[in-house]
C-alpha cells in the first residue's frame, strides 16, 4: 500500500551518513517539529546513472531547499556504499541504509516492478514530502 496525501508518515530509525559525513542512527521523528519539511526519497542503488542524476539534482538545489527542508535519501545499499557515493559526488544531505527493506515496504516503495520486460522485486523510485507535523503533503506544496 502506497501512502498518500494526508496520511501520517511512518516513523523509522535507520543507520546512515549525515551531510557532514558522520555515521549514526537517524530517526524521522528527530527531523520533525523543527519548522521544516522533510523530503524523503527512496532510490534503488548508489552510483547508478539515474540515482546519481537524482542525487546531484538535490545537491545542486540544496541552496534553495536547506532553509525549508531536510533531504533524506534511502536505499538498500550499505553505509560503506553510501559513504563512497557521498564523497564521490559531494552530496550534502542525509543518506540512510535500509538493507532489510522494512522502511521501503512500510512506505509501499519496495515490490514487484517491470524493468527491461522482466518482472522482479526492487525499489520503486519515490519521493515523499512530509510536513513538520508528520503528515504527507502533495508534491509542490512546500
CA distance 99 to 46: 13
- What the block records as the C-alpha cell of 76 is 538498500
Distances (CA, A) of 89 to 69, 101, 105: 21, 24, 28
Active site residue 13: no
Task: Kindly name the residue from 51, 65, 95, 123 that is annotated as catalytic.
Answer: 51
Identify the DSSP state of 135.
B
Closest CA to 100 of 12, 10, 27: 12
| Residues contacting 103, CB < 8 A, separation 6+ | 10, 12, 14, 74
Give the catalytic positions in this structure.
Answer: 51
Amino acid at each position: 500500500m502506497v501512502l498518500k496525501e494526508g496520511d501520517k508518515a511512518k516513523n523509522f530509525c535507520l543507520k546512515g551518513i549525515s551531510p557532514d559525513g558522520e555515521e549514526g542512527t537517524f530517526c524521522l521523528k528527530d527531523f520533525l517539529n523543527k519548522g521544516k519539511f522533510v523530503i524523503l526519497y527512496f532510490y534503488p542503488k548508489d552510483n547508478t546513472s539515474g540515482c546519481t542524476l537524482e542525487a546531484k539534482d538535490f545537491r545542486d538545489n540544496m541552496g534553495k531547499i536547506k532553509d525549508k527542508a531536510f533531504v533524506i535519501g534511502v536505499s538498500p545499499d550499505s553505509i560503506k556504499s553510501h559513504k563512497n557515493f557521498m564523497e564521490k559526488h559531494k552530496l550534502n544531505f542525509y543518506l540512510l541504509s535500509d538493507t532489510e527493506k522494512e522502511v521501503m515496504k512500510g512506505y509501499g516503495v519496495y515490490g514487484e516492478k517491470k524493468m527491461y520486460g522482466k518482472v522482479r522485486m526492487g525499489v520503486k523510485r519515490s519521493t515523499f514530502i512530509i510536513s513538520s507535523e508528520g503528515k504527507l503533503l502533495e508534491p509542490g506544496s512546500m
